[in-house]
Every structure is written in structure tokens, then in C-alpha cells.
Amino acid sequence: MEKFIKWCVSILPKPLQKIYYKYEEKWLYIIFGCLTTLVSIVIKLLLFWSVPGEPKWESTAGVVFSWICAVLFAFYTNKKYVFKNETKTSKEFWKVFSSFIGARLATLGLEEAIFLICCDWLGMSKTLITFLSQVAIFISNYILSKLFVFKNKEKETAENKND
């Protein structure tokens, strides 16, 4: 994947390559965030199409299953490609993983709150709020991942030495 990304960037004009490399982490987060959204949508639709009839549990199961798959995909791509986080022990890995899941659960709660307030209480359009909330969730996920989940270890070590 890294070779493919580098190749894609290499075919861009030099000024665009400079912009890409200056903001590489953010560009990768946007790319993999879009792919995560695609994973969620495709899995949800596949589940909806594969279950015969329309049982009552289908919507909830589809949303939950697609959310789990999307979060696992996002964890892998964020850890490996976006934030380039390396864990040396299983304890360290599980700490990062549980932090990531916790952050994603927090933004799931944020999304639920946005829908409760905007759609249920204020009667705003569910379609409009779906798209607007995704912007807030996307930004929140990046901030939580950057500050709390995939922290820069070198920076953290340097700060601890200065204390």
C-alpha cells in the first residue's frame, strides 16, 4: 500500500507533491477516512441485501456490524499508514486498541446526541444532519486519534525527560 501511495504521489506535478508531503498525515487520514466510510456502507448494504425479508433486527444489526468492521478497518489503517504507530508489546498494542475503540465510542455518542438534538428535538432534516454530523465526527475522530490514541512517542519521551 505504501508503494502504491508513493507512486500515486510521484505522478503528481512537483508543486502538488510538495503540498502532499507537507500535509501527508492529514491527506492520508482523509483518504483512509473515505475508504472507512465506503467499508461501512458496502458492508451495511451487503447485509441488507443478503438477509431475506425485512426482519426487525436487520437495521440495528446492519448498523452495528458495519460500524464494527469500519472501526477495525480504521484502526488498522490509522495505526499503520496515517500515524505510523508501532507497538512493541501486546500490552502496548491493547492499550492503543482500547483507546481507539473508546475514542470511536465517544464520537458515536456524539453522533447520537447530534441526531437526538437536531432531528428528534428540533425537527431538522435527517439527511442534512447525516452529512453535517459526519464532518463533526470526522474532525473529532482525527483530534482524538492524534492527541490521545496515536500519540507521538518521541515527543512524549522528550517531554518526560524535561520534567
Q: Report the pLDDT averaged over residues 52-72.
A: 82
Query: In which band, very low, low, confident or very high, does the pLDDT at 161 lie, cut at 50, 70 and 90?
Result: low
Query: Last residue of a domain, which of 38, 54, 84?
Result: 84
Long-range contacts of the stretch 87-93 (C-beta < 8 A, 24+): none
**What integer pLDDT is reported at residue 154 of this predicted model?**
57
| 54 in the same domain as 92 | no
Locate cell 425485512: which residue? 54
| 112 in the same domain as 61 | no
Query: Last residue of a domain, which of 55, 84, 113?
Result: 84
Closest C-alpha to 129, from 107, 141, 114, 108: 114
Report whether pLDDT(2) > 60. Answer: yes
Confirm if 48 and 58 have CB atoms less than 8 A apart: yes
Q: Report the pLDDT averaged over residues 80-105.
A: 96
Confirm if 129 and 119 have CB atoms less than 8 A apart: yes
Lowest mean pLDDT across 3-17, 36-50, 81-95: 36-50
CA atoms within 13 A on the CB side of 91: 0
Q: What is the domain extent for residue 45?
A: 1-84
